[in-house]
Amino acid sequence: MNSMDSNQAKSSLLCSPEASPSQRTLNPYVTGTSVVALKYKDGVLMAADMGGSYGSTLRYKSIERMKPIGKHSLLGASGEISDFQELLRYLDELTQQDSMCDDGNSLGPKEIHSYLIRVMYNRRNKFDPLWNSLVLGGVKNGKTYLGIVTMIGLNFEDNHVATGFGNHLARPILRDEWRKDLSFEEGVRLLEKCMRVS
């Protein structure tokens, strides 16, 4: 019996055959960097690169880290890509349940942000956090919403947010140059400036 067989035997003794051992993300492997978002006078703008880093190496160059959620929201994520994909499965189930109600109403960005806060905090309390910082923005009934939630459930709503290194490099620029009456074009230029430094 080689060492691999003995390890499998020990593993099978520790848990029942129908239950597999619990697995947790101990270290993120493929990660995305900064997401930067801001409110402008007619809505919300969000920017992120499409890179997926394996350690310090840019391993994947076309990973989508921003996804529309429902009819009114856009979600951006930095951190572990596989955990983001798991979150998207949760959100897909949530939006399908909402759609099946067929009541003429749909989840807005505030409701989805609240759901994400609960999911992230719940996973943190189980000592199995999803290694992501999430930005959720959207417009419903003419009201813009922009919020952030971290891997431990810390959350807030603001006029401009950034995750990852962008929180340190882009936020000072946003604090200096953001204003409520930004046009779409001015907002895009401001986001481009922020993405150049983060």
Catalytic residues: 25
77 closest CA partner among 141, 142, 148: 148
Contact 78, 65 (CB under 8 A): yes
Angle formed at CA 144 by CA 143 and CA 147, multiple of 5 degrees: 135
136-151 CB burial, b ≥16 within 10 A, e <16: bbbbbeeebbbbbbbb
